[in-house]
Amino acid sequence: MAFAGMLNEENIKAAVQACQAPGTFDFRSFFAQVGLIDSSEADRRKVFAVLDRDKSGYIEEEELKIYKSEGLGLVAFSQVRLGFHSPQRSAKDKKMAFAGLNDADVKAALDGCAAADSFDYKKFFKACGLAAKSADEVKKAFATIDQDNSGFIEEEELKLFLQNFSAGARALTDKETKTFLAAGDSDGDGKIGVDEFASLVKA
């Protein structure tokens, strides 16, 4: 779960169950039930960072839809800010945090793996242009994909890898995710560190 270590899983399940019926979601009650209101500012910032997939400093409607599908029940409101945002980027700034990537190249790369089980990380990194970027730019890409700021890209984050490039992109299949992880996890710890990611991009 993307919020492991920040919010209690049982509290999340209970909160989601309480708003299953259409029209019953209340964000104040939901935040209280999952423990977000009583959490530390640091944990709230971590939760915000996970939800803010494009690192725009805002949680937009498309990002909320993604997390609804993951069982968090965050629906029926958009442009949410949990009391803080990044002032250097406006809400209208939809450009991905992958600095320097061409929108047309990203679209072509996503179109090339639109079908289930068609994702090939080497082809994708080359097609989107990331393979040709500098080490610093690759590190920025890593930081964006590392949604929980753990310093590693875990399997759940890899599953949603394509959605870092476009919020409407599909999730990777279990087969694609495991293949991707195996290719990048050179030390066998079950996750991908920044150096492993850099090697994967340049492979």
Q: Give the tens place of pLDDT for each residue, 50-107.
A: 777 777 777 777 666 655 444 443 433 333 333 333 333 333 333 444 557 888 999 9
Q: Could you give the CA distance from residue 36 to residue 59 in angstroms, rounded to a whole number?
A: 16
Q: 132 phi and psi, to 5 degrees?
A: -95, 0
Give bridge partners of residue 152 from the DSSP assignment: 193
Name the architecture of domain 103-202: Orthogonal Bundle (1.10)
Would you list which residues are annotated within the binding site for Ca(2+)? 146, 148, 150, 152, 157, 185, 187, 189, 191, 196
**Two tokens at 167?**
């919020």
Can you give the pLDDT at residue 5? 63
User: Residues near 57 by Cβ (< 8 Å), separated by ≥ 6?
Assistant: 85, 86, 87, 88, 89, 91
**Two tokens at 197?**
């990611």
**Are the CB atoms for 50 and 148 separated by under 8 Å?**
yes
Going by C-alpha positions, the residue among 153, 141, 157 that lies closest to residue 184 is: 153
Going by C-alpha positions, the residue among 93, 197, 112 that lies closest to residue 162 is: 112
Q: State pLDDT tens for residues 111-150.
A: 999 999 999 999 999 999 999 999 989 998 998 888 888 9
Would you list which residues are annotated within the binding site? 146, 148, 150, 152, 157, 185, 187, 189, 191, 196
Q: CB count, 10 Å around CB of 186?
A: 13
Please give the DSSP secondary-structure letter assigned to residue 38.
T
